[in-house]
Amino acid sequence: MTARLPVFPLGTVLFPGLVLPLHIFEERYRELVRHLVGLPEGAPREFGVVAIRAGWEVAPAGPPGRPTPGGGDVTLHEVGCTAELRQVTELADGGFDIVTVGRRRFRIADVDDRSAPYLTAEVEWLPEPTGTDEVADLLAARVISVFRQYLGLIRPDPEEISEQLPEDPTVLSHLVAATAALTVADRQRLLAIDDTAGRLRAELRLLNREAALLRQVRAVPVPLSELAGPPAPN
């Protein structure tokens, strides 16, 4: 089953169930928000969030000072997630602060950069797991254990966060993918995995990799502030 969605290219990856606040300042996306707000009661107020593979979030200006149609030279990843509009605050300058929540994964079939000021796309909905999966349940327990160790390496309050981890394997897989300090490429690969067990397996590998790197950094006998500082002049 396919549908047509407005598309919002971003330098981040959205996962189902995760909150994404956005500041809307470009006119084309102001028009998108106004379009969504004006939909009939009960109509889905959602757009697709897709991570940028190459290019820029902000479109180049065209005459008379407006973004060029389609948003300029930008290449998108194939898999994205819908963002449901939950809260809209209109600003004095005509922009918006909005709060959205990720809902459904999709794969882009075709992109249209001419029909509207913003990109739209024909998308195919991706399957989501239903029912129980014993393998995913077992993997979820392992991911929770490793994720708690990982949080202990990067946060001063790991207990507070780890106590809030969900038991549902699919929800857990989305939360870990969104909150671990991963690259956009890593997150994109996780979003594209269709089954929960496969996503959890990939997260175990990534968390073990990141934890090993963090332990190596901690073993370096110099302050981290010195490692992050600018190089000394020759």
Cα–Cα dist 220/223, whole Å: 8
Beta bridge partners of 46: 84
Closest C-alpha to 44, from 8, 14, 86, 99: 86
Each residue's pLDDT tens digit, 26-72: 999 999 999 999 999 999 999 999 999 987 655 544 444 443 334 45
- Supply the pTM of this predicted model: 0.83
Pairing of strands 75-76, 79-90: unpaired
pLDDT higher than 80, residue 229: no
Q: Given this model, what pLDDT does residue 223 score?
A: 56
Asked whether the CA dihedral 65, 68, 71, 72 is positive or negative, the reply is: negative
Q: Given this model, what pLDDT does residue 162 score?
A: 60
Q: Which residue has the higher pLDDT, 16 or 66?
A: 16
Written in H, E and C, the secondary structure of 29-82 is HHHHHHHHHCCCCCCCCEEEEEEEEECCCCCCEECCCEECHHHCCCEECCEEEE
Q: Do the Cβ atoms of 33 and 96 come closer than 8 Å?
A: yes
Calculate helix-pair angle for 184-192, 196-219, nearest 10 degrees: 160
Domains and CATH numbers, the chain: 2-125 (2.30.130.40), 134-219 (1.20.58.1480)
Each residue's pLDDT tens digit, 157-170: 656 666 688 989 99
Beta bridge partners of 50: 9
Residue type, 144: I
Contacts of 206 (CB under 8 A, 6+ apart): 180, 182, 186, 190
Residue type, 22: L
If you count them, how many residues does the chain have?
234
Least confident of 16-30, 87-101, 219-233: 219-233
Greatest extent of the chain over all pairs of C-alpha atoms, in Å = 66
Q: Do the Cβ atoms of 197 and 135 come closer than 8 Å?
A: yes
Cα–Cα dist 99/159, whole Å: 27
User: 67-75: long-range contacts at Cβ-Cβ below 8 A with a sequence spacing of 24 or more?
Assistant: 67/26, 67/27, 67/28, 67/117, 69/113, 69/114, 69/117, 70/113, 70/114, 70/119, 71/9, 71/28, 71/113, 71/118, 71/119, 74/9
